[in-house]
Structure 1
Amino acid sequence: MAQARCTGEHSTKIHRTSVFVDDQAKALRFYTDVLGFMKKHDIPLGEDRWLSVVSPEAPDGTELPLEPSGHPAVRQYRTALAKDGIPAAPFAVDDVQAEFNRLRERGVYFTQEPLEMDTNTTAVLDDTCGNLIQLIHVK
């Protein structure tokens, strides 16, 4: 079996990456109204929805599905991550301090204020839907 290598000769990209959320409607409001993403898909699927958001700067870029968290394995996974303070996803920003200030003014709770580490500046917020999210800027 051939293995894909990240050598620049292939154009493999991340198309979607998910976060599991307690309440899809609440998550959609937070991710759009507070963080500034825009809704890409909202398709009813029984009790849940195929719901995803994208950056308004890249509407055809990487999608972030807001997945329902009802499966027992998901609950254990998210509980363990939160307990250990591990973010479920990192989001790139141009200026961590400015985004921290903007979101804090909007009532967002941060578990880690902006912190410079070598070439990275990070902050970690609570998305109100069961996840920690890292904001990151790489110099």
Structure 2
Amino acid sequence: MRIELTSIFVDDQRAALAFYTDVLGFTKRHDIPLGEAAWLTVVSPEAPDGPELLLEPAGGHPAVKPYRDALAEDGIPLVQFAVDDVAAEHERLTARGVVFTQPPTDAGPVVMAVFDDTCGNLVQIVSPAA
């Protein structure tokens, strides 16, 4: 068993695609029209054949908004990405206009930080502590 695909709900698929590719640096994998939405996935350029992240429209189910609102209110990230160096990634993303809700924080075995993806989600980045 392996993870091939996971998803996050986004307010606007095109805006999410721009953020996840142009700002974060992911690569578009699939963009298949499905009526008003699309099967829209991105992958890490470091693992182009690795797991895909589906940018799923948030408006499709009534439970999505209360779920995401509750997570955001509690400061809980919806997704987590591994990076080599949280401090360096924090600096790179801040220079690109990304707003962090939690700066790099030493949490024992890892360093983590949390930012707003501008698409309705909090995202956590982590790296092993030095």
| TM bucket normalised to smaller | over 0.9
Shift of 1:138: 2.4
In structure 2, the residue matched to 1:37 is 26
In structure 2, the residue matched to 1:95 is 85
In structure 1, the residue matched to 2:118 is 128
Between the two proteins, the alignment pairs up a number of residues equal to 128
Please give the per-residue CA displacement for 1:20-73, whole angstroms capped at 9, x wherever unaligned. 000000000000000000000000001001000000111110100000000211
- Taking the aligned partners of 2:74 and 2:87, their CA distance within structure 1 comes to 24
CA RMSD of superposed structures (Å): 0.7
Q: How does 1:110-129 map to 2 (within 5 A)?
A: 110-129=100-119
Residue in structure 1 matching 2:47, options 58, 83, 88? 58
The yes-or-no answer on 1:14 pairing with 2:3 is: yes
Larger radius of gyration: 1
In structure 2, the residue matched to 1:23 is 12
TM normalised by structure 1 equals 0.90
Identity %: 65
- Taking the aligned partners of 1:111 and 1:72, their CA distance within structure 2 comes to 26
TM normalised by structure 2 equals 0.96
The ranges of structure 1 where at least 4 consecutive aligned residues each deviate by more than 4 angstroms after the TM superposition are none
Q: Higher strand proportion, which one?
A: 2
